[in-house]
Structure 1
Amino acid sequence: MCVTSGDAYVTHSRVQFCWWAALVAIVAFLSACAHERVDPAYLALVEQQAELPPTGELGPGDRFLLRVYGEEGLSGEFTVGADGTINFPHIGRFRAEGLTCTDVEVELTLGLGQHVLKDPNVQCTIMEYNSKRIFIFGEVREPGTFPYKNNISIIEAFALAGGFSERASTNNTKLTRVVDGVEIQVRVPLQEIVEGRQRNLRLLPGDIIFVPESAY
């Protein structure tokens, strides 16, 4: 308390202490408010991401693993060719570009069921998207271009880039994305995301992330 019990007299030093305590509290409050300030565009992207369409369509250069249970000779890795097709035993060449892994499973299940197997069980697993990329530059340990992974988050992307450098200004990270044909830039509150105080963001193919250098 600023006034001692039973004494209306407040010393000069005690008054100074009270003013100093009040000032510290005000500064702390204002700093906290500033720290919590988040780009509304980022919040909008987070809210909209549940409505985004799937981004797992295959393209040239993408690698995936196909397993036909009980049929080792039909299982293995495949890469979508430059013409957008793969060549599968007993089925021949068919267009995989634009299909998802689930679509490929359906196509092969139908094809194998008609020509080879009575009740085929096909599983498709993406190994690497080479037709889709994300770009991470600035104050990270390993900047560069990385293959897109389905549903990859911005935190996972920074793990691919080796994490931040010591000079990184994490809360001033910029995300550049094309939305409906228009390029937008959004400030990403990465420190708050790491601390669990803001929601993570799902990246899309073609996203560009730049981490600036801290002014301090």
Structure 2
Amino acid sequence: MSNPANAGYKIGPMDVVEVSVFQVPELSKTVQVAANGTINLPLAGEIQAVGKTPRDVERDLTKRLGRDYLQSPQVNVYIKEYNSQRVTVDGSVKKPGVYPLRGPTTLLQVIATADGFTDTADASVAIFRNSNGTRSAAKFDVGEIRSGRAKDPQIVEGDVVVVSSSAMKESYQALLKVLPVTNFFVPFL
């Protein structure tokens, strides 16, 4: 049985998949998807994996092993490492970086993966996307998304999410850093 979390995930090159065949441990393997999109397993040989879900690969392996070698094989495939589909998160987040996508993912989920906003973050987020050779951008207000007044957009492989910072918040944070720490207030004259 595939993990429901990655049921819609399409396998890509360099992903690592775990294949287990019930009661046949010698056929159970952890393999990395080759650059040409295939995995190679004992008895089954080379199987196309790129662009397929784990469930699709399970069906292909079950068919191939059942045709020549095993009677009613029970094959399970799940993603062990997500290496092919990534999103870049940059700007005013606590942990900017490149993160793997593990199936359908929204903007708020990606921001949470990057440990959320910094103290100087603005609610404005831009998503840059390449689609059919064309680069496009869209701006989103996270406050509107959180309140339910705007839809939380889907993030796709290759997106770049940039969280803007507030100049006013940055100025305030800089002021707090340079002010001395005291236990009393001095009246301004």
- Give TM-score, length-normalised by structure 2: 0.76
Residue 165 (1) aligns with residue 115 (2): no
Q: Where does residue 91 of structure 2 map in the other structure?
A: 138
1:127 maps to which residue?
80
Structure with the largest fraction of helix: 1
Change over 3 Å in CA distance of 1:74–1:194 after alignment to 2: farther
Per-residue deviation, 1:208: 0.6
Identity %: 33
| Residue pair 1:65, 1:126 contacting (<8 A) in 2 also | yes
Corresponding residue of 1:213: 165
After superposition, the Cα gap between the structure-2 partners of 1:79 and 1:209, relative to the gap in structure 1 and judged at 3 Å, is same
The worse-fitting range, judged by mean Cα deviation, of 64-73 and 104-113 is 64-73
| Cα distance in 2 between the residues matched to 1:193 and 1:64 | 34
Query: Which SS does the other structure have where 1:112 is aligned?
Result: helix
Runs of 4+ in 1 over 4 A off after TM superposition: none
**Distance in 2 (alpha carbons) for counterparts of 1:139 and 1:161:** 10
- 8 Å CA contact 1:128, 1:148 repeated in 2: no
More strand by share: 2
Name the aligned partner's letter for residue 205 of structure 1: E
Distance (Å, rounded) in 1 between the aligned partners of 2:17 and 2:56: 13
Q: Report if the CA contact (8 A) 1:62-1:79 is conserved.
A: yes
Letter in 2 for 1:102: R
Give the match's secondary structure for 1:107.
helix
Q: Of 196, 199, 204, which residue of structure 1 is paired with 2:151? A: 199
How many Å separate the matches in 2 of 1:76 and 1:184?
41
Superposition deviation, residue 55 in structure 1: 7.4
Within-5 A mapping of 1:59-70: 59-70=12-23
Q: Distance in 2 between matches of 1:159 and 1:102?
A: 28
Which amino acid is the alignment partner of residue 131 of structure 2?
Answer: V
Q: Contact (CA 8 Å) 2:92, 2:163: kept in 1 or not? A: yes
2:131 equivalent to 1:175? no
Q: Over alpha carbons, which structure has the higher Rg?
A: 1
